[in-house]
Chain A
Amino acid sequence: MRYGETGYYLEVDLSKGSVERVPSDTKDTETYLGGLGTNAKIIWDRVPPEIDPLSPENLIVFSAGLLCGTSAPGSNRTIITSISPQTRYMAFSMMGGFWAPELKYAGYDKVIVKGKAPDLVYLWINNDKVEIRDASHLKGKSTYDTIHMIRNELNEPHAEVLAIGLAGENQVYFASVETESSSASRQGLGAIMGSKNLKAIAVRGTKDLYIAKPMEFMEECNKVLDYIQFRLQNPIPGVPAILSYIGSPQEMALHDEKWHTMSFSWGNARVRRADFWNEEIERQWTETLETARKKLVGCYNCPVKCHGIIQLPGFPSYVMKCFSKLTYVMAALADDLDFGLKIAAIAQSYGVDGYTTPQVMAFAIELYEAGILTDQDLPNFPKDNKERFYYLLDMIVKREGIGDILAKGVYWAAREIGKGAEKFDHNTIKKHEQIPIKLGMLNPIYFIMWSTGEKINITQIEGQIPQAPLPKEAREDFVKDWPQVPTGKEERFKQFILEWGEEGKVFPFWPPADLIAELVEWQEIMHYIDDCLGLCAGLSSFPLKPPYHIHNLPLLISYATGMDMTEERLWETATRVRNLVRANNIRRGLKRSEERPPDDHWKKRFPEYEAKLMEEYYKYRGWNSEGIPTKETLLKLGMPEVYEDFVKRGILKDE
């Protein structure tokens, strides 16, 4: 009997129309945990770099995490993995909500889809009964209509449905996968579903999930729940309100958006508006949100309410969270939140990423204003930015005219359009649009994270340390009660918090490179663990002082699965997964030259110092000067097959 996981994958071949229930290997669980870890292994084994992301041979894996469906609060993440059509690297977009636990209760840890259906289909998983069903009547339907129609035609109000909208069907490179409560938005995995003619996956499960050590497991879960309650009542002093709670940044609950609107860039990541936020704006925005937001809600088995149900007359009802509240407003240089809430309703019905989409549109507007795109490309282009956004959104999703090129995102569109458009691509890393931040002084810790993050998204790396020095009076208290720090690192990390901001202890030449490497590693490892377990980063790797940390996670894994997990072993496992993800990308051509933030990310840059930081970090991680895991690293992590493949492909020399 398997504990914590179901021990079965569902293999679906849409070309053949076949469905098979396949037992998974317990050794894989021990080596890679689950979720992202085992997904990375499947991609390594079955999707060599010759396979084009949008071809039928590419796989898309819909995975629950190892702890999904157990009593552990917030263990609800769906980890979707494939090769991104945009970055051409391994993509692992994730979402909360209700889908992954339902999959576990149906008796599966993953759904692995390959091939391409001759016509549009959806998958219906009802415990042991699995059907590939015709979806021709759902063609072009919005994400919400699709979910609603599928539940009704199956006569299953409890079915959890993930779906793509028109953007996914049209293979827009930043199409999302949506449920009614959450979306896996980044890196264009909706396009992969579209390329397979897979409109949706509905799942219903009523089977048992077993826990190896029930009493011990429940005791740990209760402790986590208590700590969640404690943190909800005790925000961290000395940091902006938005960073002081747990969960996603509480932008559906909080109205003070001074921090985001002042420090992030508007337009095509172009300008900062230091004086934007004032009392009048705050009053208007508060009223807009209070009127449109009907309730604060959240995900499966989690008490934190990060989402808001948004209902606006004339627009489809939808669920919003976090910074997507601002992305459209800021990119359109609009002043009213109302616009942001409305266009997001349309965008989510189409199923597009709320980070990339506004930036592509702001980029297009800049090209138009620079004369690179003309009235021929954009006939009857409106004068007003907000109207332009609606215009462009439709064009992109329907892939009409220039929209067909813009649908590939800023990087590819800039190169296809040419005529100097490349210059306007100034906020992508590894071909993927980044959060619009342009700052002053180089931050050496963030420099390494932006550069080397395989998720290509800073929020998926950061979290355990503050973003700026704490005020002097808050430092002692912060470190006094900080059980989240890994064993053996307590002194160093606490000293870092206490000294940061003192004379001579400021960026960019402080802290020392070895401490930077350790801090980056800690933050990143915690995210990798979450993504293997299906735990929400909002309770774990993303906020300061989270309920889940390196000391209770090994216990939870041991008690849930019966494995003998320790802090040391968990760290090593996450390191293995991190290296395997990197190996997939190295094999797909990832180069050191791509591992850098855009030139204007900070005003003050230090090329030689940055190069030295990268060298030190690569070395610390056991990678060579090109960022490739060395033979020694790969063998130590027990991945000789990766080393052999690297030698065969000429990536590493046989030693």
Chain B
Amino acid sequence: MAKKKVKIIKVDLDKCHGCRACEVACAAFHSKPKYGIVNPARSRIRVYRNELQNVFVPVQGSFYTKAECAGRHMYKINGNDQSTYDEDMSVCSFCGAACPSRDLFKEPDSGLPLKCDMCESDPPLDKPMCVKWCLADALIYEEREEEGEEEPKLDEVDTALECLVDKYGMEKVIDGLARMTQKE
């Protein structure tokens, strides 16, 4: 079996105190120009905060999905059904998906999905920005070798296109691209 390198950010929930520095650092790093815009709504890591109940959970943007999961309609937590966001924890609180049921992990203007890319850049950082800025050490960066084939990764453009196709249909996206090409 071939080896592949796996990068992960582990979360020590006991240490997170909900300051959102990870969001600030992530949003700034991923902005264009780099560090030129601060907007936590663009962050690929979000902290679920419920201060008075002492719950702080950093959640990384994980995958894009065009359908919402069944969880919202199945569970009741703290007496609340999950059809709306409640300030109390919901089943969605700890989910990293960019899904149709909420605005988390989506670019605020375009609605395109946001996913943690481990701050891959050239030159590479020694650890992702959120980990670097987490002086609480709630975020822990790990690299390890695992057995398995390297999967070809969908890059950001592919994910964005997939998302557009889901939203508008293949035909409209192709038409739109054609129009843009002609203008250029």
Interface residues of A (CB under 8 A from B): 69-71, 73, 98, 105, 144, 148, 151-152, 155-157, 180-181, 205-211, 214-215, 217-218, 225, 228-229, 232, 294-303, 305, 309, 311, 316-319
Contact = CB atoms under 8 A, between A and B. Distances in A.
Contacts of B56: 295, 297
B136 A303 contact: yes
Interface stretch (B14-22, B147-155, B175-183): B14-22
B52 A71 contact: no
Contacts of B42: 208
Contacts of B31: 208, 214
B174 interface: no
B108 A207 contact: yes
Contacts of A225: 133, 135
B135 A298 contact: no
A71 B28 contact: yes
7 contacts: A70-B38, A157-B85, A214-B36, A229-B135, A295-B54, A296-B17, A317-B53
B65 interface: no
Contact of A180 (B17, B52, B84): B52
Contacts of A300: 19-20
Given A148-B87, A215-B34, A319-B51, A298 B17 contact: yes
B36 A303 contact: no
Contacts of A295: 17, 54, 56
Given A296-B17, A300-B19, A214 B51 contact: no
B86 A206 contact: no
Interface string B30-44: 010111111111100
B176 to A, nearest CB: 24
A211 B17 contact: no
Contacts, number: 104
A346 to B, nearest CB: 15
Contacts of A298: 17, 19
A628 to B, nearest CB: 42
B97 interface: no
A69 B38 contact: yes
Nearest to A211: B36
Nearest to B106: A206
A156 B85 contact: yes
B24 interface: yes
A296 B17 CA distance: 7
A157 B52 CA distance: 13
Given A71-B28, A155-B84, A309 B36 contact: no
Interface of B: 17-21, 24-25, 28, 31, 33-42, 51-54, 56, 84-87, 103, 108, 133-136
A162 B144 CA distance: 45
Contacts of A296: 17
Given A207-B39, A214-B36, 15 more contacts: A71-B35, A71-B38, A105-B40, A148-B87, A155-B84, A207-B108, A211-B37, A295-B17, A298-B19, A300-B19, A301-B24, A305-B17, A305-B136, A309-B54, A319-B51
A306 B57 CA distance: 19
A218 B136 contact: no
Contacts of A218: 28, 35
Nearest to B53: A317
B35 A211 contact: yes
A151 B18 CA distance: 18
Contacts of B25: 71
A70 B52 CA distance: 26
Nearest to B137: A303
A253 to B, nearest CB: 12
A209 B42 CA distance: 11
A209 B37 contact: yes
Contact of B51 (A69, A71, A297): A297
List 3 tightest A-B contacts by C-beta distance, closest first. Answer: A206-B41, A303-B135, A214-B35
A210 B36 contact: yes
Given A298-B19, A303-B21, A217 B52 contact: no
Given A225-B133, A309-B54, A299 B19 contact: yes
Contacts of A311: 54
Contacts of A319: 51-52
B18 A297 contact: yes
Contact of A294 (B18, B24, B54, B103): B54
Contact of A152 (B39, B41, B86): B86
Contacts of B87: 148, 151-152, 157
B105 to A, nearest CB: 12
Contacts of B135: 225, 228-229, 232, 303
A157 B38 contact: no
Given A152-B86, A297-B18, A217 B51 contact: no
Given A206-B41, A297-B17, A300-B19, A215 B24 contact: no
Contacts of A211: 28, 35-38
Contacts of B136: 303, 305
A319 B17 CA distance: 13
Contacts of B41: 105, 205-207
B123 to A, nearest CB: 14
Nearest to A212: B36
B9 to A, nearest CB: 17
Nearest to B38: A209
Nearest to A70: B38
A105 B86 contact: no
A298 B136 CA distance: 11
Contacts of B37: 208-211
Contacts of A205: 41
A303 B135 CA distance: 6
Given A71-B28, A152-B86, A299-B19, A317 B38 contact: no
A70 B18 CA distance: 17
B37 to A, nearest CB: 5
A206 to B, nearest CB: 4
Contacts of B36: 210-211, 214
Contacts of A228: 135
Contact of A217 (B18, B19, B21, B35): B35
Contacts of B108: 206-207
Contacts of B53: 317
B19 A105 contact: no
A148 B86 CA distance: 10
Contacts of B103: 206
Nearest to A179: B51
B39 A303 contact: no
A71 B24 contact: yes
Contacts of A151: 87
A215 B21 CA distance: 18
A225 B134 CA distance: 10
B181 to A, nearest CB: 28
B85 A155 contact: yes
Contacts of A207: 39, 41, 108
Contacts of A215: 34-35
